Amino acid sequence: MSSVKRVHNFNAGPSILPVSVLEKAQSEMLDYQGCGMSVMEMSHRSKEYESIIQTAEADLRELLGIPTNYKVLFLQGGATLQFAMLAMNLRPAGASADYVVTGSWSKTAWKEAAKLGATRAAYNGESSNYSRLPAQGDLTLDPQAAYVHFCHNETIHGVEFKKEFEVPAGVEVVCDMSSDFLSQPVDVSKYGMIYAGAQKNAGPAGVTVVIIREDLLARTPEKLPVMLDYKILAESGSLHNTPPCYAIYIVGLVMKWLKDLGGLPAIHKINLEKAGLIYDAIDSSGGYYHGHAAPDARSIMNVPFRMPSEELEEQFVKEAKKADLIGLKGHRSVGGLRASIYNALPVESARVLVDFMKEFQRKNG
């Protein structure tokens, strides 16, 4: 495949996938393992598909060390549907839920839940334009809350929790891990529920992974529409209706790729290396490049940064694109630039970006 053009892909999601995964999917496109059809064309009730979805789940369980008392669901509707769905399922009538608001995504999750019942912001970092994370003492957690929700990595603001915070006994922790899912080892047993849209580290858009402790399924109220009911979806092994079959198949291939690489400790090391290269380039630029996130909150997945003027930022994005460095324009709420450096991005691409940054500064600084 060496003659095929591949850019340095810094897209925030959907984003880069491992070349070997794409090649495997390509090789199985017309005839999946002797079936004479692609995975897109087979019944989700077939023996072959059952094996695909079950293997994807088993490999995910192995990679994350998911305890046996947790269910894994492959759902549709994106992480955005989870914002509402988790509130519908996990917050009993009359109860309140706490939200740790550290950026756009946790804020959106909070607003969605607030439409449906009582919420509190246990922390809101808006005044710092979400450039830092709370210390334990900054959180005002309600010991009666049905759960506390937080976002492990804010994709737009580039802040990422480095360790879990303490919560009052009996309060469940619910976490949006969409943009740093599978980027590092995680102790799943500390969470009541973890969810993640696949389209950053786990696969293509179209499937959202939910990992939920079994006893929490008892909270699901009666008479929820079936596609919003964790209990029913869990009981059917994500096969209550037609699942996003092809997206789950690609997730399965990504899990194999991660396992072959050495699992989450191995990919974490690679991710730290890539992030280190880019943050070093920012820190050694004499202020020409300026990271949005406070140094102790820096994400190893999304690196938003600014330059001395918007004109230079625009020029940077344009010239970078010409050099096949794609997806570097920042989100409009932070402005500037953002390098998303997910699992599948090779270290070489981070090096090319750093060289480009240095050269750009030399010519324009």
Ligand X SMILES: Cc1ncc(COP(=O)(O)O)c(C=O)c1O
Report the catalytic residues.
Answer: 105, 176, 200
* CB 151, min distance to ligand X, A: 5
**Which CB atom, from 57 or from 112, has the smaller least distance to ligand X?**
112
**Which CB atom, from 80 or from 96, has the smaller least distance to ligand X?**
80
Interface mask (CB under 6 A) for ligand X, residues 126-145, using x and -?
--------------------
With contacts defined by CB under 6 A, name the span among 31-39, 75-83, 86-94, 225-233 that binds ligand X: 75-83
Q: Does 79 bind ligand X (CB under 6 A)?
A: yes
* CB 240, min distance to ligand X, A: 20
* CB 203, min distance to ligand X, A: 12
* CB 365, min distance to ligand X, A: 32
Q: Does 176 bind ligand X (CB under 6 A)?
A: yes
Interface mask (CB under 6 A) for ligand X, residues 101-120, using x and -?
----x---------------
Q: Does 204 bind ligand X (CB under 6 A)?
A: no
Interface mask (CB under 6 A) for ligand X, residues 224-263, using x and -?
----------------------------------------
Nearest to residue 353, comparing CAs of 281, 257, 258, 292? Answer: 281
* Per-residue H/E/C for the chain: CCCCCCCEECCCCCCCCCHHHHHHHHHCCCCCCCCCCCHHHCCCCCHHHHHHHHHHHHHHHHHHCCCCCEEEEEECCHHHHHHHHHHHHHCCCCCEEEEEECCHHHHHHHHHHHHHCEEEEEEECHHHCCCCCCCHHHCCCCCCCCEEEEECEECCCCEECCCCCCCCCCCEEEEECCCCCCCCCCCHHHCCEEEEECCCCCCCCCCEEEEEEHHHHHHCCCCCCHHHCHHHHHHCCCCCCCCCHHHHHHHHHHHHHHHHHCHHHHHHHHHHHHHHHHHHHHHCCCCCCEECCCHHHECCCEEEEECCCHHHHHHHHHHHHHCCEECCECCCCCCCEEEECCCCCCHHHHHHHHHHHHHHHHHHC
With contacts defined by CB under 6 A, name the span among 113-121, 171-179, 223-231, 356-364 that binds ligand X: 171-179
And the tokens for 186? 């995680």
Nearest to residue 275, comparing CAs of 43, 20, 10? Answer: 10
Q: Does 172 bind ligand X (CB under 6 A)?
A: no
Q: Does 330 bind ligand X (CB under 6 A)?
A: no
**Which CB atom, from 32 or from 110, has the smaller least distance to ligand X?**
110
Q: Which one of residues 9, 89, 131, 155 is an interface residue with ligand X (CB under 6 A)?
A: 155
* CB 43, min distance to ligand X, A: 26
Residues from 343 through 362 that contact ligand X (CB under 6 A): none
How many residues line the site for ligand X (CB under 6 A)?
11
Q: Does 80 bind ligand X (CB under 6 A)?
A: yes
Q: Which one of residues 178, 220, 238, 271 is an interface residue with ligand X (CB under 6 A)?
A: 178
Cβ-proximal residue to ligand X, closest one = 78
And the tokens for 169? 């006994």
Residues from 23 through 52 that contact ligand X (CB under 6 A): none
Q: Does 13 bind ligand X (CB under 6 A)?
A: yes
Furthest-apart CA pair in the chain: how many Å?
64
| Residue 147, phi then psi, degrees to nearest 5 | -165, 165
Residues engaged in binding ligand X (CB under 6 A): 13, 78-80, 105, 151, 155, 176, 178-179, 197
